[in-house]
Amino acid sequence: MSFLADYIYYIGAFGLILIGLYIILVKHNLIKVIIGLGILDTGVNLFLISIGYIAKGTAPIFSKPGIDSEYMVDPVPQALVLTAIVIGVAVLALALSLAIRLYQHYGTLNLRKIREQRW
């Protein structure tokens, strides 16, 4: 059980990443694929956060007395995740606006039916 307790965040993060990849690879509907991208992004963000996380840790503010540096959470991954979330939002917004255009052209969002371009 201690393995589960120690690595639960990593397991959750990679679970989300695999679910996202599965949706992207298998689903035919573009909106579902975009949802898959969102889940994949969330998984990656959770993974980044859990790298720096310490159970019962606090923010690394050195001016506050009485906090050991062992219990300080690494702030760098949190800064990375803020950036990654913003990038993810931009990509999802662009993907959804492209989905609207795609529907206007083809009348369907089924990616298996939209096959004008091929090798």
Partner 1 sequence: MVNPVLLIAVPLGLAFTIPLFALFWKDIAKYTPPVALGFNLIVSLLLLPKVFENPVIVSISGWRPPFCINLVAGPVGVLFSAIIALVGLLVSIYALDYIKEGATEKYHMLYLLLLTGATGVVLTGDIFNLFVFFEILCISSYALVAYLRDKAGIESAVKYLIQGAVGSSLLLIGIGLLYGQFGTLNMADIAEKIASASPIALFVPMVLLITGLGVEAAIFPLNAWLPDAHSSAPSSISAILSGIAIEVGLYAVARVTFTIFGAQSFLLFLAFLGIVTLLIGEMCAFSQNNIKRMLAYSSIGQIGLILFALAIATSYGVTGGLFQLVSHTLSKALLFLAAGYMIYHAGSLDISALEGMGKKMPLTCLAFTIGVFSLVGLPPFIGFPSKFLVVRAALATKETYFCVLVGLALLGTVIEGAYFFRVVQVLYFKGGKVNPEIKDAPVAALIPMFIFVLLIVVVGIYPKLITDVLNSAASELLGRIEYIKAVLGSIL
Give the binding site for partner 1 (CB under 8 A): 17, 20-21, 24, 30, 33, 37, 40-41, 44, 47-48, 51, 74, 76-77, 80, 83-84, 87, 90-91, 94-95, 98-99, 101-102, 105-106, 111, 114, 116-117, 119
One-letter identity of residue 41: D
- The pair of structure tokens assigned to 116 is 């004008």
Among 76, 96, 91, CA closest to 31: 96
Rounded least distance, CB 12 to partner 1, Å: 14
Among 45, 75, 82, 76, CA closest to 58: 75
Q: Closer CB to partner 1, residue 67 or residue 108?
A: 108
φ, ψ for residue 14, nearest 5 deg: -70, -30
Q: Closer CB to partner 1, residue 73 or residue 91?
A: 91
- The pair of structure tokens assigned to 14 is 């990679």
Q: Closer CB to partner 1, residue 19 or residue 66?
A: 19
Q: Closer CB to partner 1, residue 67 or residue 114?
A: 114
One-letter identity of residue 25: L
